[in-house]
């Protein structure tokens, strides 16, 4: 039984504290093991590993011990680069096909779960995740915005998540700014108040932000305005705080989209 078929896997349960800025040795070995299973030439990935090491280029197949040693010693983010390169290589090989790429991705994600890694591979690209899999539905929400022809909101929200997924250092202020722009643009479109700020829309439109939703929206808008748009001397929030804010705004966007048909402009 795979990790994803287990009790914790089915429920999406993860440790409260996840590793975002490291690649533990067990995870490094798991990446190598997944590459070995899919029979990928070392030529496909060794150039990426070499950027962070001074070891010579190993000959032959990915199982070469020198390559293993390189992956054990390289910077943590190079390991994730190797994982993405491995997926791309498998996906591009016609004789392997997309099914093999999906198998590889599942193996990588199981290794992430097993080692409490705060990253998840989605279609070959690592995206940062918060505890309790907060962003599992972000892709679906962004897709719903696209389908609803709310392209600007979708693109801003997509960029917010991409900024938080940058390696080795996430663009926290950029992620906050994009998230704020996404929810403001969406509120303007749904309310028809195209010239107002989100703060003004929240105050004027109780039908759009009733009761506790108004307080939540005000809180999220206050955070992105103060810490995303106007960074103060005390510094920007850490990654966990940014994940919470961007995740909350993502869920708020889903709420607004669901209420779209009920709102009179």
- Taking only the tens place, the pLDDT of each residue in 10-38 is 555 555 557 888 999 999 999 988 887 76
**CA 131, CA 238: separation in Å to the nearest integer?**
14
Is 127 found in the same domain as 15? yes
Last residue of a domain, one of 80, 108, 133: 133
Q: What is the mean pLDDT of residues 126-144?
A: 71
Q: Please check whether residues 13 and 101 belong to one and the same domain.
A: yes
Q: Residue 137 phi/psi, 5° resolution?
A: -100, 10
pLDDT of residue 132 exceeding 60 = no
Mean pLDDT of the residues in the chain: 80
Predicted confidence at residue 56, as pLDDT, reads 47
**pLDDT interval class at 54 (50, 70, 90):** very low
Residues 167-180, buried b or exposed e (16+ Cβ, 10 A)? beebbbbbbbbbbb
Distance CA 156, CA 162 (A): 10
Q: With 90 as the cut, is the pLDDT of residue 153 above it?
A: yes
User: How many CA within 13 A on the CB side of residue 9?
Assistant: 13
Share of the chain above pLDDT 90, in %: 26
Q: Residue 108: what pLDDT?
A: 94
- 54, 143: one domain: no
| 226 in the same domain as 181 | yes
Residues 20, 119, single domain; the answer is: yes
Name the helix (H) or strand (E) containing 221. Answer: helix 211-223
The DSSP 8-state label assigned to residue 210 in this structure reads -
- Does residue 107 share a domain with residue 45? yes
Element (H, E) at 153: helix 151-164
Yes or no: say if 220 and 245 are a contact pair by the CB < 8 Å rule: yes
Lowest-pLDDT choice from 10-19, 168-177, 178-187: 10-19
* 178 pLDDT higher than 70: yes
Identify the pLDDT of residue 57.
Answer: 47
* 3 state DSSP class of 8: helix
- 15 and 109 in a single domain? The answer is yes
Least confident of 23-37, 60-74, 169-183, 250-264: 60-74
Residues 6+ apart with CB under 8 A from 84: 121, 124, 125, 126
User: What pLDDT does residue 202 have?
Assistant: 92
Do 128 and 189 fall within a single domain? Answer: no
Percent of the chain residues topping a pLDDT of 70: 74
pLDDT, mean of residues 64-73: 80
Number of compact structural domains in the chain: 2
The boundaries of the domain holding residue 226 are 138-262
Q: What angle do CA 45, 46, 52 make, to 5 degrees?
A: 110
pLDDT digits (tens, 9 = 90+) for 104-124: 999 999 899 888 888 889 889
Which whole-number Å values give the CA distances from 168 to 52, 76, 164, in the listed order?
A: 12, 8, 10
Same domain flag for 145 and 91: no
Domain boundary among the residues 103, 133, 163 is at 133
Q: What's the pLDDT at 111?
A: 92
With bands split at pLDDT 50, 70 and 90, how would you rate the model's confidence at 60? very low
Same domain membership, residue 177 and residue 211:
yes
Contact between 201 and 191 under an 8 Å Cβ cutoff? The reply is yes
DSSP bridge pairs for 41: 61
User: Domain check: are 142 and 128 in the same one?
Assistant: no
- In this predicted model, what pLDDT tens digit does every residue of 195-226 receive, in sequence order? 999 999 999 998 888 888 889 899 989 888 87
pLDDT of residue 200: 93
φ, ψ of residue 191 to 5 degrees: the values are -85, -25
State whether 116 and 167 are in the same domain.
no
Domain limit, last residue, from 110, 133, 156: 133
Q: What is the pLDDT of residue 225?
A: 83
pLDDT confidence band for 59 (50 / 70 / 90)? very low
Q: What is the mean pLDDT of residues 243-250?
A: 88
């Amino acid at each position: 039984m795979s990790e994803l078929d287990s009790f914790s896997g089915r429920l999406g349960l993860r440790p409260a504290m996840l590793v975002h800025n490291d690649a533990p040795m067990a995870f490094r070995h798991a990446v190598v093991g997944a590459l070995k299973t899919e029979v990928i030439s070392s030529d496909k990935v060794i150039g990426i590993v070499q950027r962070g090491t001074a070891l010579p280029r190993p000959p032959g197949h990915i199982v070469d011990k020198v390559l293993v040693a390189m992956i054990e010693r390289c910077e943590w983010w190079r390991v994730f680069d190797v994982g993405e390169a491995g997926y791309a290589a498998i996906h591009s090989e016609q004789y392997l096909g997309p099914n093999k790429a999906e198998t590889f991705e599942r193996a990588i994600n199981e290794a992430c779960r097993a080692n409490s890694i705060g990253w998840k591979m989605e279609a070959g690209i690592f995206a940062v995740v918060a505890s309790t899999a907060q962003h599992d539905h972000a892709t679906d929400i962004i897709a719903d915005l696209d389908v609803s022809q709310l392209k600007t909101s979708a693109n801003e929200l997509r960029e917010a998540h991409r900024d938080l997924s940058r390696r080795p250092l996430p663009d926290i202020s950029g992620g906050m700014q994009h998230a704020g722009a996404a929810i403001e643009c969406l509120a303007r479109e749904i309310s028809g108040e195209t010239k107002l700020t989100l703060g003004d829309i929240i105050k004027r439109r109780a039908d759009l932000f009733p009761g506790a939703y108004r307080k939540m929206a005000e809180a999220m808008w206050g955070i992105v305005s103060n810490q995303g748009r106007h960074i103060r001397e005390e510094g920007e929030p850490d990654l966990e705080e940014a994940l919470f804010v961007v995740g909350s705004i993502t869920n708020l966007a889903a709420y607004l989209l669901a209420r779209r048909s009920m709102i009179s402009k």
